Chains A and B, each alone.
Chain A
């Protein structure tokens, strides 16, 4: 049986299996089709119907159940997550599992299309060491991403001494995993 205890391990292995079968476009289609539109249909429904309130309802219990160490900051205009210990990437790092070229892309791979359908855009960075931050805003809101500490104060993951890594990916008003650039 394929279990849920080590899910992140075989999930990551599956990305590489799919990449070998049908290339990057198949992996993207998997994140959107299997994860966003099937597995996480409950998240999609909550966020489409309730917006920021739906994000709170989805990510509150989910991240707690997964064992994440994170902070959430919500205003009328933005939903921000500071992920200090990603349970998913942490599992892979602790177990030395790295089959796929960039596991962290899977989050933008399913959350990006979900937010697009729900009318939101995402500012986001991940450092491939188990830390990342997200800001979701309505597509009609042209506000730029916050400066470090501006929204979440001392909880801002960018203030950590170990935040900077040689390989940090940056997304600006994005909804597609391929919209990334290297953070400066």
Chain B
């Protein structure tokens, strides 16, 4: 399912609002629950990977053309448009590190008493890895449940695979 790309901004799709509407996190969480309850965890992982490689393909294309600079630009623009986010983007020659001090989605879901899908935080590994892979990059996520670190690196040998146990269960 190819999608159109906006080549001007680090974000592929532009809205007229400065930030998104946080209640949409309810639907993201509910979508995960719907898929996992009907089809199981493996199908939810398929959904995340397909979303990363399909809907977010313009993001991967930009990362491929702009390298790690493009990764840092994307996350700065991305979190500026997510309400309630508190994050830092640290970029160096070898990697871009995303320090999530307050995850806007977990925060909003908690504030409204929503039951969070336990594997909610794994989306960040599977979606981001699917975006990064065609750009010759990889992602490692550590933490979760409101705060985490995400490292975006050029694909190199010797980096251990993502250990899903390093990603916290959300609640």
Contact = CB atoms under 8 A, between A and B. Distances in A.
Interface of A: 1-7, 9-11, 13-14, 16-17, 21, 29-30, 33-35, 38-40, 42, 62, 65-67, 87, 90-91, 94-97, 99
Nearest to B124: A1
Interface stretch (B60-68, B78-86, B154-162): B78-86
A39 B13 contact: no
B84 to A, nearest CB: 10
Interface of B: 1, 3-4, 6, 11-17, 19-31, 33-34, 38-39, 43, 47, 50-51, 54-55, 78, 81-83, 103-105, 112, 123-124, 127-128
B20 A4 contact: yes
B81 A35 contact: no
A38 B34 contact: yes
B13 A95 contact: yes
Q: Which 3 A-B pairs have the closest CB atoms?
A: A4-B20, A5-B20, A38-B30
A6 B25 CA distance: 11
Given A38-B34, A97-B3, 20 more contacts: A1-B103, A2-B51, A4-B25, A5-B20, A5-B81, A7-B20, A7-B27, A13-B3, A13-B51, A13-B55, A14-B47, A17-B54, A33-B34, A62-B21, A65-B21, A67-B15, A87-B15, A91-B13, A95-B4, A99-B1
B23 A62 contact: yes
A91 B16 CA distance: 8
Nearest to B98: A1
A66 B17 CA distance: 8
A34 B27 contact: yes
Nearest to A66: B21
Given A38-B34, A97-B3, A5 B15 contact: yes
B20 A30 contact: no
Contacts of A10: 51, 55
Nearest to B51: A10
A3 to B, nearest CB: 5
Nearest to B17: A67
A14 B20 CA distance: 18
B14 A94 contact: yes
Given A1-B105, A4-B21, A95 B14 contact: yes
B26 A40 contact: yes
B13 A2 contact: no
A88 B54 CA distance: 20
